[in-house]
Structure 1
Amino acid sequence: MCGIFGWVLGAGKHQERKTLIGLTDLMFHRGPDGSGYWLHKTADERFQIGLGHRRLSIIDIGGGAQPMSSEDGRFTLIFNGEIYNYLELRQELASLGHRFRTDSDSEVLIEAYRAWQLDAVRKFRGMFAFALWDEASQRLILARDAFGKKPLFLSEMKGVLLFASEIAPLVQFPGFDRTFDSEALGHYLLNRYVPGPSTFFHGVKKLQPGHYAVWESGTLKTTRYFTPPVATTVPAVKTFGDAVRLFDETFDEAVRIRMRSDAPFGAFLSGGIDSSAVVATMVKHSAEPVRTFSVGFQEAEYSELDHARAIARRFGTNHNEIFVEPDSFMEHWSTAVLRRGAPVSEASDVPIFMLSEMASSSVKMVLTGEGADELMGGYPKHRAERWIGLYQFLMPHLLHERLIYPLARSLPYGMRRLKILALAAGERDLVNRMRVWFGGLSVGESEAMLGRLLSATPPDLFPYSSDTESGLRRTMFFDQTSWLPDNLLERGDRMMMAGSIEGRMPFMDTALANVVARFPDEFLTGGRGGKTVLRAAMDKILPPEIVRRKKVGFRVPVGNWFRGPYREFLQGMLGETSGIARMLSAPKLRILVTEHLDGRQNHERVLWSLVNLEIFLRTFKVAI
């Protein structure tokens, strides 16, 4: 796990080595164990190639330094991530005559590209973002893993191509224009995050998940190589018992290969079924007690520590905990925004950052439960989406708009989930319904807040492109192509790397995704709480109170804090002199704040989004 930064600079744009070092080292937190830098000119001397690397040493600690060049000098690589099946690929490549000087997965990546060229990325079972210079063909390969667990940001300017694991090195490149993308603001209000490939900087884009890009002779061409199978695979598993068996076998392997490490590792344990399943499976493959790490709050209704402790006791883990209080949360908040390079979409990002800092004192890598809901059908919306088509067939649109919609809008503070369900059920446009589930502003509310019409068309329509008849699968496809990479996986990478720790996610395994895509819809959401196959697989392994718990989610009492210790902070951040007030309607802002502080409505999610946007504007000194 590392941080990468690099460039391709045309004539008159070449930079000195110290610039490469300085910008790469802005990501010291991603790789405190080592660094490397490489400058090179193309054969015609028109372009300068720069590759910088910060290393967190986990595989082949002594021999995996980067940038790594092949023995013949043809290939030079910088790589962020892990190829979990590197041992199997190494064996296959050795049988083809390839030789290896190190035990690292980085060298396996190089030789895989030598053997299979661009098709190599389809063989990688892992998380990665890499840049590989091919001297023979004079081209640069940039690639990002299938689900987008590892980030890769790009910036193309006249005669300049920049790429990095985080946004900060890009915006500090000499002459970079920090112009704010006003279109991204509209999407942020609607979604509570900026969908890829956009960012808040007009000059920075994301290389989308499951894509590679090839730079050659001044031109960059991007290609999609992976589509989540949930939208393209016909369900073929006939019996529930077969589904449980297939899941169990594949998940066990997904966990086992993610335990490959030459450095100490552990697991984040929330006490929910996802992380508990990961820990239970790790114990099967560990000769020593598994280290587990949990975070909680003084507010009992928000803390799952009792459940995490029950799992730790059951499996004899070496358990560690931290409590998050308003003061310590506030101390880490602005740093979380800096590391994310964007507003922090979910309040839970900050406790994960704090937990990562604590865990990094004893381990360098943890396994986590991210992705289980999106892969296995665990959200309430997944169960609802199976029936929304029937509701819309039976409920005339006009009746919903005149009766159900006004009632839903007027529901009180404590009925937020019912309110969202009622609003989503009547939304016939798939794009807008996906937004409703996340609790952002509607198109009308966003336009009123902005004081102008906005382009509500997403920057990338691919997450909405599934033509399956299953509402569940359309929703899961969206989750796996937008909500995950642009929010939850972005959190997992940025917040854990902010604490200098690697996170591995067994549920985000491509082989497991292929297996689960073969399950009929009712095997995924047919029971209480969803994730029916997962619950059945864990039924004899985990305590019944864990298996049968309905989803709680990792919640932070920020809504209460806004009305308590953060009250003045909230009012100051969204006050008349803020950057937000210059971009949005100040009267509308006052209404949101007042309604929340008075307890009339729960605007926690929207207020959190707006405060974080203000912190982002101040942190990055964005030109608005």
Structure 2
Amino acid sequence: MCGIYGTTIKYNENQVKQKLERTSFRGPDKLGFEYFGNDKNVIFGHNRLAIIDLDARSNQPFTYQEKIHIVFNGEIYNFQSIKKELVKNGYQFKTTSDTEVICAAYLEYGNSFVSKLNGMFSFVIYDEHKQKLFGARDRMGQKPFYYYFNGHDFEFASQISSIQLFNKHLTISSKSISYYLAWGFIPDPFSIFNEVNKLKAGHTIEFDLQTKTLKQEPYWDINKEPSKFTGNYNDAKETLNNLIKDAVSLRLFADVPVGVFLSGGIDSSVISALATQTTTSKVKTFSVKFNEKGFDESTYAQQVANHLNTDHHVIQCNYSEGLDLIENFNTYYDEPFADASAIPSMLLAKYTREKVTVALSGDGGDESFIGYHRYKWMKQVSSIYKLPNTIRKLSSNIAGAMPHYRLKMIANGLKHASLEDLYVATATDVDFSWLNTQDNFLNISEKEYLKHHSKNLLERISDFDLKTYLNWDINTKVDRATMAYSLEARAPLMDYRIVEFARSLPTDFKYQGTNQKRILKDVLYKHVPKHIFDRPKAGFTMPFSEWFKNDLKDYVLSELNDDELKKIPNINHKEVSIRIKQHMNGSWNRYPLIWKLLVLKQWLNANKSYNIV
């Protein structure tokens, strides 16, 4: 786990060093950069967080056979099996790292070798013989990849701030601000700057140094047609148990201490349970504790830890430390990002790093096994969409006349023409009356996954979330939160074999009646008693709703008063002001909007020198 950087722009050594130092928290063990090519026209830089083969021989930029150079961020979990194949084919290795295996696999198999990799990664290879740069990003988008291309020069990095430094040709994207205000993040391939893009998950990128051309290609995607698992439910449960166990085992391999994030929920508990079965050492587990009522799940995590006999650590989250993270948020999330659970994620990472360098997480379970509350709501509301439009509109009008804000949200939702449109609105915000923009912020290509009508509604929205919410929100949150404290996070449930297997299962294996994540729960109950989990599902959130009305009230009203709101583009400041007042008087919970605006304002204040176009 590291930070990568590279460019064909002729920056001097001091400038390159500053670009790397900007994200040195991603890899504090070694900062390195090198100029390559006959005229030194390619610069590669790297911030190393040493995880596998801690020796300096595996520092990057790494050169293989004097002609292949690489900068690589992430982990290849199956690198040892690939290495065995390559050794049989005559390749020799001087390190025990996965970095060297990537280079050899590229030489042996060409660009298609990416499909052999099981891992989380973003990398770029400089092939001196072919005079090209070849890069790739992992299937799920766990590792970031930003790039700048002006038709002649190419620049890439793990974080946008490295590209931003010394680049005088960037402008802030008004359209991306609209996307952010709607979604809470900026969807791929866009970034906050018009001139910088993100490489999409499951894609490769190639830059020809001679013709100055750039091309991108997908190497993995979700199947449009449903694939069918042919066994019975017990067969599927056993297969899934073995897949998760193997995915956990692969991710426990490291030359540094490894732990597990344990919230006490289904996903993290199944990872913790199978981790205890695949290692002889006592597993270290970590959870966060809040003092506010309704936000503290640490007692459930403790029950799971007690049953599994892990070395459990509870991290206390308090108001003062939360405020400190808020004020420094954009140092690590260096483009606007509004998932408030980033704050407890950062706190969890900060204190986990004191004990371990790698932590396994349960991310990815809800998307693959239909676990979110909104899936249940979509299943319920789908029956309403079978009614004639006139009756649906009447239901919307009746609900909209009610004083309760949830009914008003339902009323707004029922106005959408289709269930697919409703789900996109639910994933963003069903009420956009506070936005003031001409940008079509709902126009994303990933909506195509909602149109694969050979699959049922639940499977389609699950596919959509895998390609959008998991990639753009969850993975961004976890990568930045953990790397802020030089901690590597690994997600066994995002192993592509598990993702593909989950997509092959009948829907009722995953969601039967009211039982969401059915098969994942049954795998867990083989290892941890069911009664521990007989409670409503809880999210990983901060008590911002209360903080904004109490401890942080003065901060919010100062940062988002009428004069300050007028400085924020693409919003109707009068409508927003009304919503802030609603939150403060307790009539409506508007904390997501308040947090979204606070983050954007903080970022814009730090980037006043750029024009918004």
Q: 1:433 to 1:294 in 2, by over 3 A?
A: same
Measure how far apart 1:387 and its partner are.
Answer: 5.2
- Partner of residue 210, structure 1: 202
Contact kept, 8 Å, 1:278 with 1:506, in 2: the verdict is yes
| Partner Cα distance (2:98, 2:512) in 1 | 40
Contact kept, 8 Å, 2:271 with 2:361, in 1: the verdict is yes
- Partner of residue 186, structure 2: 194
Equivalences for residues 34-49 of structure 1 within 5 A: 34-41=30-37, 45=39, 48-49=41-42
- Partner of residue 611, structure 2: 623
Q: 1:527 to 1:96 in 2, by over 3 A?
A: farther
Contact kept, 8 Å, 1:272 with 1:546, in 2: the verdict is no
Of 516-525 and 419-428, more deviation after overlay is shown by: 419-428
| Partner Cα distance (2:30, 2:175) in 1 | 39
Of 187-196 and 278-287, more deviation after overlay is shown by: 187-196
Question: Structure 1, residues 59-101: CA drift from partner, whole Å, max 9, x if none?
Answer: 111132111100x211000000000001111111111211111
- Partner of residue 7, structure 2: 7
| Partner Cα distance (1:509, 1:551) in 2 | 23
Q: 1:140 to 1:467 in 2, by over 3 A?
A: farther
Q: 1:90 to 1:243 in 2, by over 3 A?
A: same
Tell me which amino acid in the other structure corresponds to 1:250.
Answer: L
Measure how far apart 1:406 and its partner are.
Answer: 5.3
1:81 maps to 2:74: yes
- Partner of residue 220, structure 1: 214
Equivalences for residues 81-120 of structure 1 within 5 A: 81-120=74-113
1:511 maps to 2:500: no
Tell me which amino acid in the other structure corresponds to 2:33.
Answer: Y
Q: 1:174 to 1:436 in 2, by over 3 A?
A: closer
Candidates 572, 575, 578, aligned match of 1:591: 578
Measure how far apart 1:464 and its partner are.
Answer: 4.4
Candidates 301, 309, 317, aligned match of 2:294: 301
Contact kept, 8 Å, 2:78 with 2:117, in 1: the verdict is yes
1:453 maps to 2:466: no
Question: Structure 1, residues 217-269: CA drift from partner, whole Å, max 9, x if none?
Answer: 3111011111024x434223342112111111111111110011000110111
Tell me which amino acid in the other structure corresponds to 1:615.
Answer: Q
Aligned length: 606
Tell me which amino acid in the other structure corresponds to 2:557.
Answer: Q
- Partner of residue 332, structure 2: 339
| Partner Cα distance (1:420, 1:20) in 2 | 49
Q: 1:580 to 1:614 in 2, by over 3 A?
A: farther
Measure how far apart 1:401 and its partner are.
Answer: 2.7
| Partner Cα distance (1:388, 1:426) in 2 | 12
Q: 1:150 to 1:408 in 2, by over 3 A?
A: farther
Contact kept, 8 Å, 1:192 with 1:440, in 2: the verdict is no
Candidates 20, 25, 29, aligned match of 1:24: 20
SS of residue matched to 1:578? helix
SS of residue matched to 2:162? helix
Contact kept, 8 Å, 2:74 with 2:120, in 1: the verdict is yes
How large is the Cα RMSD of the aligned pairs? 2.0
| Partner Cα distance (2:233, 2:416) in 1 | 33
Show structure 2 runs of 5+ residues with no match.
Answer: none
- Partner of residue 564, structure 1: 550
Tell me which amino acid in the other structure corresponds to 1:270.
Answer: S
Measure how far apart 1:619 and its partner are.
Answer: 2.9
- Partner of residue 140, structure 1: 133
Question: Structure 1, residues 271-325: CA drift from partner, whole Å, max 9, x if none?
Answer: 1111111111100112111111111210131110100111111112111122212
Candidates 35, 46, 67, aligned match of 2:61: 67
1:412 maps to 2:404: yes
1:612 maps to 2:604: no
Question: Structure 1, residues 114-155: CA drift from partner, whole Å, max 9, x if none?
Answer: 111111111111000001001111110121000100000111
Question: Structure 1, residues 3-53: CA drift from partner, whole Å, max 9, x if none?
Answer: 0011123xxxx2212221210121110001112111123x5x4x8111100
Equivalences for residues 373-412 of structure 1 within 5 A: 373-386=366-379, 388-393=381-386, 395-404=387-396, 407-408=399-400, 410-412=402-404
Q: Report the TM-score when normalising by structure 2.
A: 0.94
Of 74-83 and 549-558, more deviation after overlay is shown by: 549-558
Question: Structure 1, residues 306-354: CA drift from partner, whole Å, max 9, x if none?
Answer: 0011111111211112221222111011323321122332111011111
| Partner Cα distance (1:201, 1:24) in 2 | 20
- Partner of residue 157, structure 1: 150
Q: 1:430 to 1:52 in 2, by over 3 A?
A: farther
Equivalences for residues 322-361 of structure 1 within 5 A: 322-361=315-354
Tell me which amino acid in the other structure corresponds to 2:592.
Answer: R
Candidates 563, 577, 581, aligned match of 2:563: 577
SS of residue matched to 1:131? strand
Q: 1:88 to 1:79 in 2, by over 3 A?
A: same
- Partner of residue 485, structure 1: 471
SS of residue matched to 1:517? helix
Candidates 541, 546, 552, aligned match of 2:538: 552
| Partner Cα distance (2:237, 2:300) in 1 | 24
Contact kept, 8 Å, 1:274 with 1:369, in 2: the verdict is yes
| Partner Cα distance (1:546, 1:205) in 2 | 45
Question: Structure 1, residues 522-543: CA drift from partner, whole Å, max 9, x if none?
Answer: 1111154410000111113112
| Partner Cα distance (2:400, 2:248) in 1 | 43
SS of residue matched to 1:100? coil
Show structure 1 runs of 5+ residues with no match.
Answer: none
| Partner Cα distance (2:290, 2:390) in 1 | 45
1:245 maps to 2:238: yes
- Partner of residue 486, structure 2: 500
